[in-house]
């Protein structure tokens, strides 16, 4: 069992408890939140709260979460765009909409399920039963290159490269607004957003996060940007671009809430990957083209100029 402490703010006053819990804890559905309330697992000042309790905005709420269910990822025949593969590693151009590994709300239909079908038992076990082979992640609605390890030796070598930054990841994106400079670096710590647990934010005490960026093309109200990750925090580029005042086009979490017509999720693509091969020691440099919807957005912006 895990107990999580949440603090309501003035902005939460009047909100129904089960709906608020669902918004604060990404692992909870509203029905699961209501069930915890019914079971007496949600308290304030030691007293259980009903699911329909209305917050006054001053509560400190304690939620006792159940142990997560143990799930096993199963092979599924899902098409993969394989960019590189050998006995140690496989690199895939992940499409938008594909979740990387099973999790609550996404028990199957993930990249891991597809890799298990494609690679059989040839995936590392370092990441556990739900994340075999997974060395790093890409958001569901971000496309592009992701590497997986086929054995524990390769996984450990690649994980070390993530730590010392020799595994280099390059992204391209379209951001809103016109960046003043032609290039720069964002060095700002990232942690869980204190007011919304489903989001990350630049926060004091967060983990160090560094993103290097350069402008590729300007369109007045939008800018085409290349980013290179020095670190790999959750939602790092999305959070850093929003922190600069230039959220990524289509990012309804960190930018405008209204979706962009013809665009699924954020206009962000992992275009390049460079790593030292874990067995041969040779440098491997890979790239993949921009997805069609990204190209269409660029064409629209160029036409407007």
In order of their start, the domains of the chain are 2-65 (3.10.290.10), 73-164 (3.30.2350.10), 165-305 (3.30.2350.10)
* pLDDT for position 68: 55
pTM for the full model? Answer: 0.78
Provide the β-strand partners of residue 6: 61
Instruction: Calculate mean pLDDT across residues 262-277.
Output: 95
Band (194; pLDDT cuts 50, 70, 90): confident
Residue 276 has pLDDT above 90, yes or no: yes
* CA distance linking residue 267 with residue 294, whole number of Å: 6
Q: Which two tokens stand for residue 52?
A: 């329909």
* pLDDT for position 70: 47
Instruction: Calculate mean pLDDT across residues 120-136.
Output: 79
* pLDDT for position 104: 66
Q: Quick: pLDDT tens for 76-98.
A: 999 999 999 999 999 999 999 99
Residue 54 has pLDDT above 80, yes or no: yes
* CA distance linking residue 60 with residue 191, whole number of Å: 21
Catalytic residue of the set 139, 141, 187, 299: 139
Instruction: Calculate mean pLDDT across residues 1-22.
Output: 85
Angle formed at CA 153 by CA 83 and CA 164, multiple of 5 degrees = 75
Report yes or no: 181 and 139 within 8 Å, Cβ to Cβ.
Answer: no
Residues of the chain with pLDDT > 90: what percent? 69
Instruction: Calculate mean pLDDT across residues 201-222.
Output: 94
Task: Indicate the range of 55-59, 123-127, 188-192 predicted with least confidence.
Answer: 123-127
CB-neighbour burial class of residue 267 (10 A; exposed 0-12, middle 13-18, buried 19+): buried
Instruction: Calculate mean pLDDT across residues 123-152.
Output: 87
* pLDDT for position 129: 65
* Mean pLDDT for the chain overall: 91
Residue 2 has pLDDT above 90, yes or no: no
Instruction: Calculate mean pLDDT across residues 256-266.
Output: 90
Task: Indicate the range of 3-7, 212-216, 250-254, 268-272 predicted with least confidence.
Answer: 3-7
* CA distance linking residue 186 with residue 242, whole number of Å: 11
- Of 125, 169, 163, 164, the C-alpha closest to 147 is 169
Sheet of 60-65, strand order? 2-7, 60-65, 42-44, 47-48
Catalytic residue flag (residue 88): no
- Of 226, 229, 222, 212, the C-alpha closest to 256 is 222
Band (124; pLDDT cuts 50, 70, 90): confident
* pLDDT for position 71: 52
């Amino acid at each position: 069992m895990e107990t999580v402490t949440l603090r309501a703010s003035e902005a939460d006053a009047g909100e129904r408890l089960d709906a608020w819990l669902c918004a604060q804890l990404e692992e909870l559905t509203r029905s699961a939140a209501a069930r915890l309330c019914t079971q007496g697992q949600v308290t304030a000042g030691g007293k259980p709260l009903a699911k329909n309790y209305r917050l006054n905005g001053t509560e400190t709420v304690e939620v006792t979460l159940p142990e997560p269910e143990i799930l096993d990822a199963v092979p599924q025949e899902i098409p993969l765009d394989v960019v590189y593969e050998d006995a140690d590693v496989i690199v895939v151009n992940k499409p938008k909409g594909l979740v990387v590994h099973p999790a609550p709300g996404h028990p199957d239909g993930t990249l891991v399920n597809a890799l298990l079908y494609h690679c059989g038992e040839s995936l590392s076990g370092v990441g556990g039963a739900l994340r075999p082979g997974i060395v790093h992640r890409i958001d569901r609605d971000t496309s592009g290159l992701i590497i997986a390890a086929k054995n524990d030796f390769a996984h450990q070598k690649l994980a070390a490269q993530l730590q010392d930054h020799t595994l280099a990841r390059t992204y391209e994106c379209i951001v809103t607004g016109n960046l003043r400079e032609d290039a720069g670096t964002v060095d700002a710590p990232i942690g869980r957003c204190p007011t919304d647990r489903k989001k990350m934010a630049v926060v004091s005490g967060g983990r160090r996060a560094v993103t290097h960026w350069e402008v590729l093309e300007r369109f007045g109200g939008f800018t085409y940007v290349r980013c290179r990750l020095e670190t790999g925090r959750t939602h790092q580029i999305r959070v850093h671009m929003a922190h600069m005042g230039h959220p990524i086009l289509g990012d309804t979490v960190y930018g405008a809430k209204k979706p962009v017509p013809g665009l699924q999720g954020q206009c962000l693509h992992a275009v390049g990957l460079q790593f030292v091969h874990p067995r041969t020691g040779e440098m491997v440099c890979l790239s993949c083209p921009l997805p069609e919807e990204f190209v269409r957005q660029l064409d629209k912006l160029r036409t407007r100029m």
